[in-house]
Structure 1
Amino acid sequence: MTHDDSAIPFAFAGPPPQRDTVTGWQDYRRTRHSFPPAPRLDLATWRCMSPRRRTLHDLHRIATHANLPLLHTPMSRAVAKLLNGRIENNALKRNSTTCSGVMVTGGGYQGKTETVCEVAAAFEDRWLALLDYLNPEAKPGTRDLHAPVAYVQTPVTAKPKSTCKAILNYYGAPVYPRMDLPDLVRQVAVSLHDHGTKALLLDDITRLRMHRADDQDTLDLVRAFMSMNVTLVLIGVDIPKSGLLSEGRFDPRSKQVTLPASRHARVHGLEATQTERRFDLVELGRFSYDSAEEIATWTAHLVGVENELRLMDASEGMLTEGTMPEYLYQRTDGVVGLLERLVEDGCREAIASGRERLTEDLLESITIDLAGVPGRDPNAGEVPSVPRPSGNGPKKGAKQPRNTTFDDPGPNAQDAG
């Protein structure tokens, strides 16, 4: 086998795992750090490659920029610290008290879901290793799959029954046509217990609208899940303004929300006594640019992003020197998801044009369009407003000079030098 016929240096594993099934979650947990980034090559090495190897390497670089790792920020570290502590503490409880939950709020594209899933996956890694991958709560004579974490997306038009079915679908548990709500709730309780689930993540919880009776009943049911000895983690856009906390009391000092006991707990007998439900409310905010310290924090994040890029003319400080930090902030409002999208599209253009570096002029040609993004509900605030280019870059329709970055000057030019 020749060098050009060797295997592609990175694997196309198909679409990303669907985390809302137990199999998909386990695939995500096992593979979340496994993507191999493209090697760093200089222009001379790239030119020595055959055309096929150049194409493959460029494709690998594009894939690298499309799969940038999750970079920690001061905001995400605060969320991770609180969330990890709450899940671990509740998992170690041996009494029958209702487990306190966590609400993670913030704007769209600010990395809430990825941060929560990373914390939960890391907890599951440790929990499985601690128990030698065995479920101590499994019934004798059975081999129930051990699933310490369950990730479920709130249905767009959530109702109590559809929410229960979404949880049961995560486990692949049977759902029969004639099952009424009490049957579904009991089946959810059985599935959570039999699979040893310690954390139930409900994403996009702000799809619930409190002016709808079905949504009020769904939130009431969600609170009842806290009686099932799991840490309930609710993830949503701007939870304080969504109406979800309208029945609760918020303590600004402890950042805890206290909600009344659910009606479903009384109706379906999920617990013997009625207790208030407590949630820690934590915000995963965007970067700010109002002080020297905040600017330094933003710039430090840009350093981390820059270190992950694979552009062959990317000098140190490409994203952090001159007016570039301010420009990137103006284009993204400090939202990490928008920054990732801008950089990803910019790197693709830099490779395709042969410019091999990110500049303000190049990024001015990039428009971030989030319209029609699958899996996002604009009505729930999941799609943020996107700042437009400033218009200070090259004018549309202006003739651009021909790219000569990868031109081979030939041996005569070298002899002339």
Structure 2
Amino acid sequence: MHRLDDQDVLDLIRAFMSMNVTLILVGVDIPGSGLLREAAWDEKNRQWVMPPATRARNFGLEPTQTEHRFDLVDLDRFHYTTPQQIQAFTNHLAGIEDGLRLFDSRPGMLTTGTMPEYLMRRTGGVVGLLARLIEDGAQEAIDTGRERIDESLLDEIVLSLNDPTRDPAAGEIPAIDPGDQPAQPRPKKSRRRPRNTVFDDPGPRAAGAGA
């Protein structure tokens, strides 16, 4: 909450609170971010000052009014140890796979063989990184005409964790082992002429929107 943009988001949430809507918001380390804790600007020290986090309830401290209006549900990253964890991650991959529209895709493209272990190793089970890797991989598959995602293609995709637009102090850069990332992207192959996408299947979501 040390950035002005963060304060603007908090003001927007407060505005939503006056509307007859239900908000489902997803973020990283919400208790630690101060987003729901109404940080105040300290003119003397020129910084935002936050009251204690939700964890402070154990010490008899009450949450702020904004925080009190939300129910926090802790959704950890995916893990890949127990059969239940493996199945949950595989089910998530199946949902992503079902939404991919590549000409040479096949059932089990993301869920069979060593692909689930590969994706877990590359992303550490972080949903945002997984989505980014698959999105970049799908774009690469289209641009090169390969039209399918496999490990060799994803090896060409580097997930950069040093994005200058992300703030480590706000939890915007997840911790994954840099050793699991390619040292550098492979040389780009010559691009094929973009294919005609007029007859592409827009997917069930887009089809349902017009119903």
Q: In structure 2, give the amino acid aligned to 1:309.
A: L
Bigger relative CO (Cα 8 Å, ≥ 6 apart): 1
Matches within 5 A, 1:54-69: none
Segments of 5+ residues of structure 2 without an aligned counterpart are: 196-211
CA distance in 2, matches of 1:292, 1:202: 26
1:314 pairs with one of 105, 127, 136: 105
Structure 1 residue 217: deviation in Å? 5.5
Is contact 2:2-2:48 (8 Å) kept? no
Is contact 2:141-2:147 (8 Å) kept? yes
CA distance in 2, matches of 1:402, 1:246: 52
- Partner SS, residue 320 of structure 1: coil
Matches within 5 A, 1:128-139: none
In structure 2, the residue matched to 1:296 is: 87
CA distance in 2, matches of 1:325, 1:365: 17
Is contact 2:77-2:127 (8 Å) kept? yes
CA distance in 2, matches of 1:279, 1:401: 51
CA distance in 2, matches of 1:164, 1:396: 41
Is contact 2:159-2:181 (8 Å) kept? no
In structure 1, the residue matched to 2:202 is: none
In structure 2, the residue matched to 1:353 is: 144
Q: How many residues align?
A: 181
Length-normalised TM-score, structure 2: 0.63
**Residue 380 in 1 paired to residue 150 in 2?**
no
CA distance in 1, matches of 2:20, 2:191: 59
Is contact 1:299-1:325 (8 Å) kept? yes
Length-normalised TM-score, structure 1: 0.35
* Deviation digits for residues 139-165 of structure 1 (CA, Å, limit 9, x no counterpart): xxxxxxxxxxxxxxx55269xxx9599
* Deviation digits for residues 384-413 of structure 1 (CA, Å, limit 9, x no counterpart): 1344475799x956x97998xx9xxxxxxx
Matches within 5 A, 1:72-87: none
In structure 2, the residue matched to 1:286 is: 77
Is contact 1:288-1:295 (8 Å) kept? yes
Pick closer, same or farther for the CA change 1:396–1:385 going to 2, 3 Å. Answer: same
Is contact 2:104-2:148 (8 Å) kept? yes
1:335 pairs with one of 126, 139, 144: 126
Pick closer, same or farther for the CA change 1:287–1:165 going to 2, 3 Å. Answer: closer
Pick closer, same or farther for the CA change 1:197–1:291 going to 2, 3 Å. Answer: same
Structure 1 residue 321: deviation in Å? 1.1
**What percentage of aligned pairs have identical amino acids?**
38
Matches within 5 A, 1:122-161: 154=1, 156=3
Segments of 5+ residues of structure 1 without an aligned counterpart are: 1-153, 172-187, 220-242, 251-257, 266-276, 407-417
Is contact 1:249-1:259 (8 Å) kept? yes
Pick closer, same or farther for the CA change 1:164–1:199 going to 2, 3 Å. Answer: farther
Q: In structure 2, give the amino acid aligned to 1:290.
A: T
Structure 1 residue 310: deviation in Å? 1.0
In structure 2, the residue matched to 1:244 is: 53
Matches within 5 A, 1:3-402: 154=1, 156=3, 163=7, 167=11, 170=12, 195-196=18-19, 206-208=32-34, 214=42, 218-219=50-51, 244-245=53-54, 247-249=56-58, 259-260=61-62, 280-372=71-163, 374=165, 376-388=166-178, 390=180, 396=186
CA distance in 2, matches of 1:311, 1:246: 46
Is contact 1:367-1:389 (8 Å) kept? no
